[in-house]
Structure 1
C-alpha cells in the first residue's frame, strides 16, 4: 500500500533580532482527515556571525558579570535557536526543542516523532508554534506541511 502526500502549507519566514524570544503561531485548518502529517522544518544560519555575536554578548555581559570578569570570546560561537511546538484544536501535542537546523516530523495516530504525542490527523484547527529562543542575526525559516493520504 503506497501513500500519497499533498502539500497543505508552505511558507518561508524571514526573522531578525526583533523576533528574539518571541513565538510565531501558524494556524492551519485541515478540511479532511489524513493518515499522517509530515512537517519539514528548517532554519539557517545557526551560527551568528562572529562580529555580531561579540557585540551582542558584550552588550549582555554586564547583566551577569558581577565578579567574574568574563569576556565575550568565552561564549562563542553564539547560536540562533528556533524550535517547533504543535497543537490540535487547542490541545498541546508536544515539541521538538533541540538544536537541529533541519527536522522532519511525522504525526499519526499510530506513531509520532520524538517529542510529540501520537495523534489522529483529523480535520480541524492545527497550530504550529515557532519558538524563537535566540534570534540574533537574520534567520530564514522554511516550513512545509504535507498531509499523507493512504492509497
Structure 2
C-alpha cells in the first residue's frame, strides 16, 4: 500500500512593489504527525518587464557613488527574487535561497531537500517564511503544503 498525501495548506499570494524587501510569515498548525511534508512553491514572473525595470534602475542608480558612466541598460534583466525558509516550533530548519521559480521541497526525519535539516514532521506550529528579496513588478506566489501519511 502506498503512502497517502493530504493537502494541509494552499494559498495564492499576489505581491506588488510595496512588498519589496519584506518577509511574509505563514503559520501552519499540524494537529497530527506525518511521515513527511511536501511543499510546492512557485512564483512568477521572474523577469521584471523591461520598461518597468529600466525605470526602477534609473531611479536607483543615483543613490550610488559611481565614477563610471553606467547606463540602466547595463543592469538588465532585472529579476524578481522570492525565496522560502522553514521553521518548526520556532526552530529554524533551513532555506532554499536560489533563483529557481518552481521548487518542490521534502521534509522528513530521514531526509530533507537541499538546504533543510531533516526533521520529524510532528504536530505543532510550523512556519513558512517567504523572503521577498526583490519584488519590482506584480508577482504571483503559489504555495501548497501536503502531509504524507504513514504507509
TM-score of the aligned structures, taking structure 1 as reference length? 0.99
CA distance in 2, matches of 1:13, 1:96: 19
Q: Once the 2 structures are TM-superposed, how far is the Cα of residue 7 of structure 1 from its aligned partner?
A: 0.1
Structure 2 segments unaligned to the other structure (5+ residues): none
- What do the CA deviations read for 1:10-39 (whole angstroms, capped 9, x no partner)? 000000000000000000000000000000
- What do the CA deviations read for 1:77-100 (whole angstroms, capped 9, x no partner)? 000000000000000000000000
In terms of mean alpha carbon deviation, does 62-71 or 40-49 score higher?
62-71
For the pair 1:109 / 2:137, whether they are aligned, the reply is no
SS class of match (2:110): coil
SS class of match (1:150): coil
- What do the CA deviations read for 1:44-81 (whole angstroms, capped 9, x no partner)? 00000000000000000011242111100000000000
CA distance in 1, matches of 2:127, 2:87: 5
In terms of mean alpha carbon deviation, does 7-16 or 57-66 score higher?
57-66
For the pair 1:38 / 2:46, whether they are aligned, the reply is no
In terms of mean alpha carbon deviation, does 40-49 or 65-74 score higher?
65-74
Q: Which runs of 4+ in 1 moved over 3 A?
A: none
Q: Once the 2 structures are TM-superposed, how far is the Cα of residue 2 of structure 1 from its aligned partner?
A: 1.1
SS class of match (1:3): coil
Structure 1 segments unaligned to the other structure (5+ residues): none
Which residue of 2 is the match for residue 127 of structure 1?
Answer: 127
CA distance in 2, matches of 1:80, 1:129: 17
TM-score of the aligned structures, taking structure 2 as reference length? 0.99
CA distance in 1, matches of 2:147, 2:64: 46
- CA RMSD in angstroms, aligned pairs only: 0.7
